[in-house]
Amino acid sequence: MNILDKVRPNILKLQPYSSARDEFEGNAEIFLDANENPFDNGFNRYPDPYQSQLKQEISKLKGVEPNHIFLGNGSDEAIDLIIRIFCEPGQDNIIISDPSYGMYQVSAAINNVAIQKVPLSEEFTFSAQGMLEAADNHSRVAFICSPNNPSGNALDPEEVITMIRKFDGIVVVDEAYIDFSSTPSFINQLEKYNNLVILQTFSKAWGLAGLRLGMAFSSPEIIQLMNKVKPPYNINILTQTEALKALQKPGKVAEEIQDILKQRDWLINELSSFSQVRKIYPSDSNFLLVRITNAKSLFEYLTAQGIIVRDRSKVTHGNDCLRMTVGTENENKRLITAIKEFLA
Ligand SMILES: *Cc1c(COP(=O)(O)O)cnc(C)c1O
């Protein structure tokens, strides 16, 4: 696909902001080019606008060259940039499977970009056909989330590939929960499809939601466009250093993931013993979507006990459903105890 054909004309023409650090090349001893305060306190200098060191480490971890990597202020920044690069406000649209992560829709609405929602099946499975049929010649970007939020399941990889191959636009596969899944990432498909964007994040398995660091993996053409449109210093120094530290200890994260998966099994087991629990949807993530009689009253009861889950009863196919994040062993026990009290 010729990616540049899909880009908004004003973005193609855009002369990006050139920062002091962009314009300097070579070995410097004295920086008098960016109007910074010269007294060293660890933060007086602007951060690396392209996060080279961080991308080097992520590159090793993911087996993807740095020119295929974009880092954003959360995945949310990447979502917004993709919409702004490819969709002309008031004219183009995005296609999203429904129910899914709420930010695709909000970002599109902020940018005055229309949304075509295509429902998943009642079991939250995905078929490319429905999405392809919903596309018109103003559909620029399709968002697919796998494993899907709020249902928790990984989508059929064959259907996702069909979508990437047949959709005449950009396909974003949001893999925020991939580290909890037994299905492989689509990252190994990047070489084949230059219209594919994969989103991952440090907010879930990596335990760094407060840092705000999201990753996008894509073709160099798309990564270059994202770099051109992003605010120059979008990842601050603290985030870059803390993420580098975390990347030196992948074993710690791997252990936490194993623990969370064990706890997920424990929760499934406990929840299945309640007759009021009508369905626990299969999960490839760190949360469970649970259909339960009187979900709304249970939600209110839990809230009164100081236990906050997410009421998903209003989303498509989600009636009487609560979404519960897997917590620590102790937190999960307290959740189950509270549900028992409510049902008693
Ligand atoms: C939590 C989540 C994200 C994470 O967004 P960040 O901005 O990186 O914190 C992205 N996509 C989905 C589907 C999520 O559930």
- Whole-number pLDDT of residue 47: 95
- Whole-number pLDDT of residue 16: 87
- CA-nearest residue, atom 10 of ligand 1: 176
Phi-psi region of 12 (alpha: psi -120 to 50; beta: other; left: phi over 0): alpha
- Best mutation site among 179, 201, 208, 323 for ligand 1, i.e. most ligand atoms within 8 A of its Cβ? 201
- Best mutation site among 82, 148, 149, 215 for ligand 1, i.e. most ligand atoms within 8 A of its Cβ? 149
Does the CB atom of residue 209 touch ligand 1 within 6 A? yes
Ligand 1 mean position, distance from CA 80 (Å)? 12
- Whole-number pLDDT of residue 20: 79
Does the CB atom of residue 167 touch ligand 1 within 6 A? no
Ligand 1 mean position, distance from CA 13 (Å)? 31
- CA-nearest residue, atom 2 of ligand 1: 176
When computed from its CA atoms, the radius of gyration of the chain, rounded to whole angstroms, is 22
Cα 31 to Cα 23: distance, rounded to the nearest angstrom: 12
- pTM tops 0.95: yes
What CA–CA distances, in Å, run from 9 to 87, 141, 209, 218? 10, 16, 35, 21
What are the tokens at 337? 């105890």
Ligand 1 mean position, distance from CA 203 (Å)? 7
Q: Which atom of ligand 1 is nearest to the CA of 101?
A: 13
- Whole-number pLDDT of residue 27: 82
Ligand 1 mean position, distance from CA 278 (Å)? 28
Task: Give average pLDDT by consecutive 10-residue segment, the chain, 344 residues.
Answer: 96 89 81 95 95 98 98 98 98 98 98 98 97 97 98 98 98 98 97 98 98 98 97 97 97 97 98 97 98 97 98 96 98 98 94
- Whole-number pLDDT of residue 24: 75
Residues ≥6 apart with Cβ < 8 Å to 127: 121, 156, 159
- Best mutation site among 70, 73, 76 for ligand 1, i.e. most ligand atoms within 8 A of its Cβ? 76
From start to end of the chain, where are the E strands? 69-72, 93-98, 114-119, 139-145, 170-174, 196-201, 214-217, 277-280, 287-292, 310-311, 321-325
For residue 21, give the amino acid letter: R
Does the CB atom of residue 174 touch ligand 1 within 6 A? yes
What CA–CA distances, in Å, run from 260 to 117, 175, 227, 327, 331? 32, 17, 35, 7, 12
Cα 222 to Cα 85: distance, rounded to the nearest angstrom: 9
- The residue length of the chain stands at 344
